[in-house]
Amino acid sequence: MIRRFSILTTQKTMSSKTPSAKSKNVPQRNHRNKSSSSNSPSNNSTKNSLNIWPSDEHRVVTFFCKNKNAINLDQHIAPFGTVKQVRFLTRKNVVLNRIEMSTSAEAKSLWERYRTNLLDGVLEVKADTYHTLSPNNNKESPRKVYEEHWSAEDIAKGVESGDVLTGRLRINPKMFKYAFVSNKVGKDIVIVDLEGRNRALAGDVVAVKLVDQSQNLDSPEPVSELCNEVESLNVAPNNDSGSSENANSPPGSFKQPRSFGKVVGILESNHSRLASGKIEIPKRGNPLFKPVTSGFPYVSLNQKDIDEKISKYDISKVLFTAKIKSWESDHIFPKGELVDCIGEAGEVATETTSILIDHDVDFQDFSPSVTDCLPKDLPWMIPQEERSKRRDFTKECIFSIDPSTARDLDDALHCRKLESGHFEVGVHIADVSYFVKPKTELDKVASSRCTTVYMVEKAIPMLPSMLCEDLCSLNPGVQRLAFSVVWTIDKKGKIYSQWFGRSIIRSCVKFSYDHAQSFIDNPDLDLDKPGDVEGDDVRYPPITGGFSLNLIKSKVLQLHEIAQNLRRQRIDSGALKLDQVRLAYTLDAESGMPNGCYKYVYKQSNELIEEFMLLANISVAHKIYKHLKEQAFLRCHPEPKQNMMEDVVSHCNEIGFQIDASSSQSLARSLNIAAGEDELADCRKQALFMLAIKPQQLAQYFCAGAVEDEELYRHYALNVPLYTHFTSPIRRYADVIVHRQLAYVLGDKSESNLMETDASVLHKQAQLCNDKKMNSKSAQEQSINLFFTLMVNNFGPLECRGMVMYVYDHSFDVISIEYGVVKRVYLEELPLLSFKTDETKRTGKDLQVNVLKLKWPTGDLEGRNKVGKQPPNYEQCGEGVEQTIDVFDIVDLVLFKSSPHSVRKFSVSIKRPDENAVTEQSTTARNSMF
């Protein structure tokens, strides 16, 4: 039975996922009045497809056969000489028979005979890109799979000449053969295939030599035989659990000119070389470790070393961890060792541990050397000498507003109306830097972890719980050390003065966002009346300090009015906010499995906190930069990747939306206008925002002295010249650094060692914070995907509405309106009579675009076969229910368990429209936009 899973409305957080992209599905969006060359790339040939024999050293010929038993090649090869070695590789529905002859002359004769006179069952015959299939018998001259890494001296010369650049390697988790390194101006250098990557892993700092690229990147086939060999082993499957902040580009060919390169050296091995996965025992050769995550290679293991470790397990059902120990240039795969068994695959705990390991998250208990840095005399009291150094806010009405489940309370606020009619507003942040002293073991582990990682079912803290949940947390009713920013501000948000300093506070109450929202929604209710307020089901927490609920409510309302004015000014000045659907889950108390999900609703109470946290971060950024300059630890947000944004703008314009991406302000305005004002406006906005998110880059920490151009300091989304992170030191190490810098600026000489720290050292810490932040984000997304997949598996099939985002020749991308996930629907997987690509003209526009035409059979679909990749002729397949798939159409989706079963992936299909009701609704809604 198909269920429409109910969505409740409450406040929790979650991110959405983006589906994998296959390069063969090129967006069909060329117009009749435009050249279609972008969809017909030139087929630049490589050596193995030329009509000449590559060289006198080549001895390998590859026969592409329909299947392994299609033909007995032995009798056809024997007359041409001695066969030295044969290797079979299976790719999709094709078997590669790679034949190594004893001499190049024998191989050339074999190739010349059969490349144009194909045998029955043989699809193609090519000269292989490898000279041989195995190392030469001369042990001093093994076959090189990868180029040797350059010396430091040669790399330095290359950098000086401009032929070599350095940067961090990023691997596309959706299409693992593509990797990227950004140049100095932020444009990507594309690195193709494993050879081009030359044994480097994601996160490594590499030296890249710029090269000419003659390969046809639009081809769905791998561009080298090494990639063939790897793909035949499914080393890096296209799984939907992958994620990267820059990997979600629209699939298809590179439409903008790209620069290409190859790795010639690994300068810093930042990847842990550790991964989770399964063990496969081949019929011959060493056992292989197959990683769960894409971008990590197979690892060759020693049989003797692993026998004892795997003997008590059914290796088909459990996940292990393995670590790379070495990777020589003459080995396709690295050599490694088996580290540990994680647990049974498919279990929530096992899969969560796997995700944490693959994202290099340190989730071990804190060592005794770290806990020894914590206060010993408990209960801890603020020392008297510390009180004299701080401003006392303990008499002030201070309160916190956080998620209801929060236990690490970083921030609190106060608001007091002044005689002038202005307001004193204070943001008080936990003073973590008081407890985390530089160069201690506690500081070392915090600077290594860099961030708290939030999974669906648990958090991996940056600091020990004594600090996170007690001594640093601004819990109500107890005195706590804080770092405060206090403004004199009017209700319109104009600032007249500001003060920074260390302080002592005592919060009187911990409110949830629901509590604060109830004040905003019911400003006139008298909350101090005895008994419950009629119709109000909110239960308020106890208040300490003798303050009344009505008094606190009035202060929340004052802050709310100021926050709304601040927000309006930010948006009017060009701030960009691309909201997405976020989900959270209710979990079974015993099993930990999801038993429901609900949509996060971002309320005005959230906006209240957001505005004052942003204001504090911006204020502190200006303060430390003014006084520290080169040492200032800041956060920038680069502009979107130009080529990707141009693709998105072109895509939107071609379907009738005029998107202006010249600035964050114009992008925000044009997206909101394009969404329209009809009943589908929210759905359309969700799809447009998802498209606009794809080209966005992640915000980055940096040290000002390491970046020469001050224009690069800007934060694109906030549209401000300077920004930093100050407000969450319990969960972000960057904020701890900023606290120390602000303390130094304010005269705390104990932080003078900061001025002795070279900008390059701080910038290296900034880079580590960036890496850990990205890993944390990706781990959280995969955790969310894991629990959503579990929900689909346990409660599915689930029905929901979807909006089409991209249309390709045999598939289309669709976003689930209820759940916010993006998936690809493959027409070949549907029980259709046929399908085809057709053209349609936009209503009111001189635009001719491609759409998909689907023809469904009438009657019961149960048990009907899939239409397949080569459907019957559309016009001759008989009558049926016809459906048009166009961008921004609404379709009915069905989410269901994938086959074979997986806890990391689920499948998607669409329902046959009943009497074209969905199609008619979609067409009417779409035409109303133009």
Token output for 846? 């001189």
Say how far apart CA 117 and CA 113 lie, in whole Å.
7
Beta bridge partners of 392: 504
Compute how many other C-beta atoms are within 10 angstroms of the C-beta atom of residue 499: 13
Phi, psi of 364 (to 5 degrees): -75, 160
The amino acid present at 774, given as its one-letter code, is M
SS3 28: coil
Phi, psi of 326 (to 5 degrees): -155, 155
Compute how many other C-beta atoms are within 10 angstroms of the C-beta atom of residue 395: 9
Say how far apart CA 3 and CA 301 lie, in whole Å.
46
- Say whether the peptide bond before residue 857 is cis (omega within 30 degrees of 0): no
Provide the residue count of the chain.
Answer: 930
Are the beta carbons of 813 and 821 closer than 8 angstroms?
no
Alpha-carbon separation of residue 567 from 339, 488, 492, 618 (angstroms): 51, 18, 10, 14
Cα–chain center distance at 102: 49
411 labeled part of a ligand binding site: yes
Compute how many other C-beta atoms are within 10 angstroms of the C-beta atom of residue 335: 15
Give the DSSP letter string of 320-383. Answer: EEEEEEE--TT-SS-EEEEEEEEEETT-HHHHHHHHHHHTT---SPPPHHHHTTS--SSS----
Q: Given the structure tokens 């060009």, which residue do they identify?
A: 574
Element (H, E) at 267: strand 259-268
281-304: string of b/e by CB count within 10 Å (b at 16+)?
A: eeeeebbbbbbbbbbbbbbbbeee
Say how far apart CA 395 and CA 249 lie, in whole Å.
53
Say how far apart CA 620 and CA 429 lie, in whole Å.
12
SS3 668: helix
Say how far apart CA 633 and CA 314 lie, in whole Å.
50
SS3 741: helix
Cα–chain center distance at 854: 33
SS3 153: helix
Alpha-carbon separation of residue 713 from 621, 635, 650 (angstroms): 11, 7, 29
HEC readout, 463-512: CCHHHHHHHCCCCCCCEEEEEEEEEEECCCCCEEEEEEEEEEEEEEEEEE
Q: CB burial class (10 A; 0-12, 13-18, 19+) of residue 769?
A: buried
Phi, psi of 701 (to 5 degrees): -80, 150
SS3 222: coil
SS3 697: coil
SS3 239: coil
Beta bridge partners of 852: 837, 885
Residue 638 DSSP symbol:
P
647-672: string of b/e by CB count within 10 Å (b at 16+)?
A: bbbbbbebbbbebbbeebbebbebbe
Element (H, E) at 306: helix 303-310
Say how far apart CA 149 and CA 186 lie, in whole Å.
25
Give the up-direction half-sphere exposure of residue 492: CA atoms within 13 A in the CB hemisphere.
Answer: 2
Say how far apart CA 51 and CA 786 lie, in whole Å.
49
443 labeled part of a ligand binding site: no
Provide the annotated binding site.
402, 411
Provide the annotated binding site for Mg(2+).
402, 411
